Amino acid sequence: MADSVWGPTAAAAVRVRTEHPRHSALVRVTHWITTLAFLALLVSGVEILISHPRFYWGEAGNVNTPPLFKLPIPASRHSVPTGYAYVLPDQNGWSRYLHFQSAWAAVLTGILYVAFGMVSGHFRRNLVPESGEFSATAFANVIAGHLRLRRGAGDGERYNVLQRVSYLAVIFVLFPMIIWTGLAMSPGIASAFPFVVTIWGGQQSARTIHFFVTIALALFLATHVAMVCIAGFRSRMRAMITGRPAEMERK
């Protein structure tokens, strides 16, 4: 039985996977740049949020306006009523600078990745689900496997339907929304292109949506890291760093 599994055909398959990287060089580079930029955006975004942890809907919002909701954390400004008798250190200087710089790094990297994916067929080959995968049974099987923390057969060679749909949603829905709502909060952009703001219902609405999209992206990142650990942290990291998949395990 072992000879039939590890005969010439299986060996040839291993050589093919070794010769052809699991992830192309551009995908790997843009993946890590985006990861670093997103982490910088998260850290700096939290610092910016602390200065005014209240959210509104519409065009205007300030300390004299009833909030849509507020976070139960102290602010870094005495003028913001949060119910706490103290304030946190104000870090708005470096946090805003880092947030803007990281945002441009993420945007430019994302444009490069999307252009590459369109031209090279990366999205069509690796991310667009096949017609037969769109079924309740397929989704249920994948979700059940994840809930049982089970490593599916061939998990490292091909994305399952849940992964494909999730990645496409992040790339073409959540990232465009986080960029657009971020631009809508810029006074310069709002003055030059009012529709960028009005489509969201106002700058405060854009800020509130920006917050919830950030939570969705953070949850995706946490789930992504957890699934990488479950599927095999070393092999997945190796594939995303060197492009070479881990060797097939003998049974």
Q: How far apart are CA 210 and CA 98, in angstroms?
A: 17
Each residue's pLDDT tens digit, 188-207: 888 999 999 999 999 999 99
Each residue's pLDDT tens digit, 49-78: 999 999 999 998 999 999 999 999 999 999
Q: Give me 221's structure tokens.
A: 């990142």
Q: Give me 140's structure tokens.
A: 């249920």
> For the chain, which residues make up each domain, given as ranges?
2-242
**CA torsion sign, 15 to 18 to 19 to 21?**
positive
Residue 92, pLDDT score = 87
Q: How far apart are CA 237 and CA 6, in angstroms?
A: 26
Each residue's pLDDT tens digit, 113-170: 999 999 999 998 888 887 766 666 665 666 666 655 555 434 455 777 788 889 999 9
Q: How far apart are CA 133 and CA 69, in angstroms?
A: 40
Q: What is the DSSP letter of 158?
A: S
Q: Which amino acid is at 76?
A: S
CB 87 within 8 A of CB 73: no
CA distances from 181 to 80, 91, 231 (A): 23, 22, 34
Q: How far apart are CA 84 and CA 122, in angstroms?
A: 51
With cut-offs at 50, 70 and 90, classify the pLDDT of residue 23. Answer: confident
**Which CATH number does 2-242 carry?**
1.20.950.20
pTM of the full predicted structure? 0.82
Distance, CA of 60 to chain centre: 29
Q: What is the DSSP letter of 200?
A: T
Strand residue runs (E) in 69-213: 69-70
